[in-house]
């Protein structure tokens, strides 16, 4: 790939330019540097993904169909990211008071915010209804709470119910939300559930939405589309029983998988839309407004962990590179490496891609437990102290959601842009956590409390 390809055309080239610039500008450095670790976000790439999502649906939907693409805040709970996505036309899907506060801090309007969670408190529901935030109820008991909160008058918020279509699992059990025993939503195929749901809508004219989230990493497009097809069929059944268009909006969730094996962006949003059109063509007729809730698919490919190799050693004849990136940033990889493998890119101390004969070596993190490994027996140019490793595709659910093992500090996160002449500009999205902040968070102000 050409080193000076335009920022919108060549993400891999942008990444390598950013790595070298990060070294030159002191964001990360060698053994004498105080910065052994930093994390980067490609802002042009994020905008490109947002545009791909919005255009894929716009091209397929009937003209005038209302659509809200709500970013799943859990994937990257960073106010500057939410602000960037809002500027690109997206709203927010939140699942906690903290995530709602982040969305509001980013300036996302209530009318472009959706609240999902399997365990909402009365206080959370009351706040959402007061603000006019869309709510998806998870279960019959939550509906009873909403009965009391909504009362006899019209609800200010759009309200729906989440269903579990029970269409099956993908390759990662812990992320499969549409299994027969999933904790999410009302199990559609359980005895009597479908009839109960239809009656629940007929008894509550203020229920105007239906929600499903059948996708996630490891779930094929056809299986995701099957869950959406079940949602559309249920909406048609409810509206037929009501004799009117009571359900007017379908929230089809997110969960588009990401390719972690290479730089290729696949599957793409247009392929997802094509799968939906085949499975549920009525979804695109204009009869229903749509809401989506993508997270990983929008951010993952645009994040990079950049960490210094502090030491190298050999154990059992295997070379090991000890770095500053590990379980605190790639928690799922450390605990479930088969399900969450990551790529490793080797750079020299100047940020230049390292050449050389590949050697099988472990890439380890700084935490004090044996499983803190980013890669095992990975074929890479032989790493040396002062080199850098890059871990791409980490823009969602990796360094954005820090795990405080060993009280390791949260790293700085910088967004970057690449100008037409290859000049890289960085913008601080989140500062590195100070040691003083770690101590304060650990209760230093209450040191005598337990004596």
Q: Which distant-in-sequence residues (6+ apart) come within 8 Å of 309 by Cβ?
A: 321, 322, 323, 383, 384, 385, 386, 387, 388, 389
Angle (deg, nearest 10), helices 79-87 and 43-60: 40
Alpha-carbon dihedral sign for residues 438, 443, 444, 447: negative
CA 16 to CA 81: how far, in whole Å?
Answer: 22
- Beta-ladder partners of 381: 358
Tokens 């509206």 found at: 239
Report the relative pairing of strands 388-392 and 413-418 from DSSP bridges: unpaired
Any idea which residues carry the catalytic annotation?
368
- Beta-ladder partners of 114: 93, 134
Q: Which distant-in-sequence residues (6+ apart) come within 8 Å of 203 by Cβ?
A: none
Report the relative pairing of strands 303-315 and 388-392 from DSSP bridges: antiparallel
């Amino acid at each position: 790939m050409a080193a000076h390809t335009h920022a919108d055309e060549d993400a891999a080239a942008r990444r390598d330019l950013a790595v070298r610039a990060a070294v030159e500008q002191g964001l990360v450095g060698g053994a004498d540097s105080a910065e052994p670790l930093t994390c980067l976000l490609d802002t042009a790439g994020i905008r490109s993904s947002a545009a791909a999502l919005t255009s894929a649906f716009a091209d397929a939907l009937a003209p005038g169909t209302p659509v809200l693409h709500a970013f799943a805040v859990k994937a990257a709970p960073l106010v500057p990211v939410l602000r960037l996505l809002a500027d690109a036309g997206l709203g927010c899907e939140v699942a906690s008071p903290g995530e709602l506060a982040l969305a509001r801090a980013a300036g996302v309007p209530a009318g472009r915010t959706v609240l999902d969670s399997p365990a909402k408190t009365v206080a959370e529901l009351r706040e959402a209804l007061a603000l006019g935030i869309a709510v998806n109820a998870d279960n019959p008991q939550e509906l009873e709470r909403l009965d009391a909160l909504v009362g006899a008058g019209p609800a200010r918020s759009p309200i729906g119910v989440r269903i579990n279509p029970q269409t099956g699992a993908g390759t990662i059990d812990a992320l499969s939300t549409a299994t027969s025993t999933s904790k999410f939503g009302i199990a559609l195929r359980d005895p009597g559930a479908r009839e109960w749901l239809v009656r629940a809508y007929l008894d509550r004219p203020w229920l105007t939405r239906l929600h499903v989230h059948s996708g996630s990493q490891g779930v094929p497009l056809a299986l995701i589309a099957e869950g959406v097809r079940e949602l559309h069929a249920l909406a048609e059944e409810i509206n037929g029983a009501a004799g009117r268009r009571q359900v007017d909006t379908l929230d089809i969730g997110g969960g588009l998988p990401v390719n972690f094996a290479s730089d290729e962006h696949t599957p793409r949003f247009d392929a997802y839309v094509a799968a939906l059109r085949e499975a549920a063509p009525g979804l695109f007729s204009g009869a229903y407004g749509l809401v989506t809730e993508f997270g990983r698919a929008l951010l993952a490919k645009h994040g990079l962990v950049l960490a210094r190799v502090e030491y190298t050693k050999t154990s059992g004849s295997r070379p090991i590179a000890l770095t500053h990136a590990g379980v605190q940033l790639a928690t799922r990889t450390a605990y479930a490496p088969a399900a969450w493998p990551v790529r490793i890119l080797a750079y020299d101390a100047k940020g230049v891609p390292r050449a050389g004969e590949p050697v099988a070596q472990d890439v380890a993190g700084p935490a004090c437990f044996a499983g803190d490994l980013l890669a095992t027996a990975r074929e890479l140019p032989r790493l040396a102290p002062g080199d850098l490793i890059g871990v791409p595709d980490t823009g969602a659910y990796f360094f954005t959601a820090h795990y405080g093992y060993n009280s390791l500090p949260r790293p700085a996160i910088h967004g970057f842009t690449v100008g037409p002449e290859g000049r890289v500009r960085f913008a601080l999205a989140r500062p590195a956590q100070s040691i003083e902040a770690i101590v304060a968070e650990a209760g230093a102000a209450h040191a005598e409390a337990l004596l």
